[in-house]
Amino acid sequence: MSVRNITPVKEFEDILPKEYKDLVNKGPFNNKKSVDDLGTFKEIIEEHPHCAGCGVSLGIRLALASLPSPEDSLVVGTPGCSFFALSQSAVNYSNTAFGNQNAVATGLKRMLQIRYPDKHKDVIVMVGDGGIADIGLDLTLHSWFRKEKITTIMLDNEVYGNTGGQESGMSMKGRVLNMAPTGKKFDKIPVFDMAEVSGCVYGARVTVANPKKVGQVVRNAILIAREIGPTYVQIFTPCPTNMKFPPDQTIKIAKEAQKDQYSYKEFMTDEVAEYLKNI
Amino acid sequence: MQISNYKVTAGPEGFIAPSAADMGVILPNKGQALVEGSITSENEGMDKAIEKLISAKNPVFFPGPLVLWNWKDGVEEKAKAVIELSKTIGAKIIPMPDYRPKYPMINPEVEINPNHPNLTIWHNKIDVCVFVGVHCHYANVALKIIRGGTDCYTISLCADAGHEDSMVSIRDINTEKINTLTEIARQMKARGK
């Protein structure tokens, strides 16, 4: 894990396919980039099979563009829609059994600290709401209780998207879905609040309708996790396929959610507040 | 110790080809090689690999991430040795830069991907190929797919213990051994073999 992994042997430079040459010469590895630079550089995310208007793919795009050191980052995922784009992106990626992501990330982070004691290696969990709030809730909470220095990012589309539209713990109460025809019977699980009481030192709740904010909080969360403790970012990534809205309305739906269940929220400890003043 | 008479020959073996290991083919020990499922001496394995390569219509080298990217000291020398070997044989080079599944599909003209290696082989009509610098777990997958669906003769130059599913497998490959292969190729060509 270093920028050498993306440095071709000179003799092989010419035979690399174009997207790899672009990644080397115009990617975010040698020249640091951010969400503000989107459209001007070769991004880590590649072509992917997500549905048109997918909020998850946009969330991944924004999060990957915000990595402070992509060459020293390891993204940990789990089955779900997020897997499709993440497994095709040009960043170290580890998939896990469903829900195990924070336990695997813990092991990877500890191993990387032993292997590279003098370098920051960012371990970032990036999974859907099913992976965090339902199937992986216990392992996620325990990683926070243990104060593991990893960043957890939830791409919350409020549904199990790629399996046909089952309700998830993060679906809104009353939401009618393909596999929840009478509507969801209980409230959205307050994972954001649970993160604060479980030991996260920093948390932010945003939507893809505000790309700059997503970029800023993801970057902050990763930098804070390096130094202080576990961090959590919850991004609303609406799903046109299962929520039955036209693909060009994703941002509109996300904006509407900002007035309701996805108003901007942030929490941080005093130590984090002091740290943020100095970066 | 040979425990099977199963022959690992060029395919197509079928849609769900049995893995050679499943058929009783075992990996060679140090100083040995694997030729079509049988354990031989390393020298015999090297001779067979070069013989196949120089008699091929369209031999192609598939260098993987371990030699394409300058990830540690010593890689550059190994890469140069691979290039020298391919030039001596007159083989093309098509890279396998990483193992990401490509969507909607790879460009088989300029790259090979372990998830669909048959596409590159079919498109370029490759009859003999060499895997070098590919991590073992992906080489195993790709070699099995190639044997299952194509008639390409596969040779693996493995830095570890070798691969049962390639027709010729040389283990513990390093810069020195690659240079030896180049020398064998020069000699065979000079003899007009």
pLDDT per residue over A22-40, tens digit each?
999 999 998 889 999 999 9
List of chain B residues whose C-beta atoms are within 8 Å of the C-beta of residue A46: 100, 102-103
Nearest to B67 among A7, A9, A48 (CB): A9
Closest by Cα among B170, B189, B192, B191 to B42: B170
Query: Strand pairing partners for A207?
Result: A236
**Helix H or strand E segment including A155:** strand A151-156
Closest by Cα among A129, A127, A125 to A144: A125
What is d(CA A268, CA B2) in angstroms, rounded to the nearest whole number? 64
Whether A210 is covered by a domain: the verdict is: yes
Contact B97 A16 (CB under 8 A): yes
Contact B95 A87 (CB under 8 A): no
Q: Which pLDDT value is given to residue A74?
A: 97
Whether A84 is covered by a domain: the verdict is: yes
Question: Which residue reads 């929220």 in tokens?
Answer: A265
Instruction: Please report how many Cα atoms fall inside a 13 Å half-sphere around the Cα of residue A72, on the Cβ side.
Output: 16
Q: Which domains does chain B have, with CATH numbers?
A: 32-191 (3.40.50.12640)
The predicted model gives B115-122 an average pLDDT of 95
Sign, Cα dihedral of A48, A49, A50, A52: positive
What is d(CA A221, CA A139) in angstroms, rounded to the nearest whole number? 19
User: Which one-letter amino acid corresponds to residue A238?
Assistant: P
Q: Which of B69, B83, B93 to mutate to test the interface with A (most CBs of A within 10 A)?
A: B69
Confidence class for position A224, pLDDT limits 50, 70, 90: very high
Closest by Cα among B68, B72, B90 to B80: B68
Residue B50 backbone dihedrals phi, psi, to 5 degrees: -70, -40
pLDDT digits (tens, 9 = 90+) for A74-125: 999 999 999 989 889 999 999 999 999 999 999 999 999 999 999 999 999 9
Q: Please, are residues B23 and B6 in contact by the beta-carbon 8 Å criterion?
A: yes
Question: Which residue reads 């790899």 in tokens?
Answer: A20
**A174 touching chain B per CB within 8 A:** no
Nearest to A9 among B75, B94, B103 (CB): B75
> Is a pLDDT exceeding 70 seen at residue B1?
no
Whether A179 is covered by a domain: the verdict is: yes
Chain B closest-CA separation from residue A97 CA (Å):
19
User: Distance from first CA to last CA of chain B, Å, rounded?
Assistant: 31
pLDDT digits (tens, 9 = 90+) for B32-70: 999 999 999 999 999 999 999 999 999 999 999 999 999
Q: Which pLDDT value is given to residue A2?
A: 83
Closest by Cα among A271, A262, A266, A275 to A223: A275
Secondary structure E strands in chain B: 32-35, 38-41, 59-63, 92-93, 128-132, 153-157, 168-170
Average pLDDT of chain B, as a whole number? 95
Kindly give the pairing relationship between strand B92-93 and strand B59-63. Answer: parallel
Whether A9 is covered by a domain: the verdict is: no
What is d(CA B46, CA A227) in angstroms, rounded to the nearest whole number? 52
Whether A177 is covered by a domain: the verdict is: yes
Chain B closest-CA separation from residue A16 CA (Å):
7
Whether A155 is covered by a domain: the verdict is: yes
Where residue A65 sits, what CATH number does that domain have?
3.40.50.970
What is d(CA A29, CA A6) in angstroms, rounded to the nearest whole number? 8
Residue A231 backbone dihedrals phi, psi, to 5 degrees: -130, 160
Confidence class for position A61, pLDDT limits 50, 70, 90: very high
Estimate to the nearest angstrom the gap between the alpha carbon of B60 and the chain centroid. Answer: 9
The predicted model gives A9-25 an average pLDDT of 94
Residue B55's CB: how many other CB atoms inside 10 A? 13
Confidence class for position A257, pLDDT limits 50, 70, 90: very high
What is d(CA A110, CA A149) in angstroms, rounded to the nearest whole number? 9
Q: Which pLDDT value is given to residue B61?
A: 98
The predicted model gives B109-138 an average pLDDT of 96
User: Which one-letter amino acid corresponds to residue A15?
Assistant: I
Q: Which pLDDT value is given to residue B52?
A: 98
Chain B closest-CA separation from residue A23 CA (Å):
12
Q: How many CB pairs under 8 A join A and B?
A: 66
Please give the residue range of the domain that contains residue A130.
Answer: 34-277
> How many domains does chain A fold into?
1
Confidence class for position B2, pLDDT limits 50, 70, 90: low
pLDDT digits (tens, 9 = 90+) for A262-277: 999 999 999 999 999 9
Task: List, edge to edge, every strand of the sheet that includes A73-76.
Answer: A92-94, A73-76, A122-128, A151-156, A231-236, A202-207, A265-268
Q: Which distant-in-sequence residues (6+ apart) come within 8 Å of A264 by Cβ?
A: A204, A205, A206, A210, A213, A258
The predicted model gives A241-259 an average pLDDT of 97
Whether A239 is covered by a domain: the verdict is: yes
Q: Using CB atoms within 10 Å of the CB of residue A232, give its burial: 0 to 12 exposed, 13 to 18 middle, 19+ buried.
A: buried
User: Distance from first CA to last CA of chain A, Å, rounded?
Assistant: 24
> Is a pLDDT exceeding 80 seen at residue B3?
no
Estimate to the nearest angstrom the gap between the alpha carbon of A141 and the chain centroid. Answer: 17
User: Which one-letter amino acid corresponds to residue A251?
Assistant: I
Closest by Cα among A147, A145, A160, A93 to A124: A93
pLDDT digits (tens, 9 = 90+) for A174-215: 999 999 999 999 999 999 999 999 999 999 999 999 999 999
Confidence class for position B4, pLDDT limits 50, 70, 90: confident
What is d(CA B159, CA A95) in angstroms, rounded to the nearest whole number? 26
Whether A2 is covered by a domain: the verdict is: no
pLDDT digits (tens, 9 = 90+) for B127-177: 999 999 999 999 999 999 999 999 999 999 999 999 999 999 999 999 999
pLDDT digits (tens, 9 = 90+) for A122-145: 999 999 999 999 999 999 999 999
Q: Which pLDDT value is given to residue B16?
A: 78
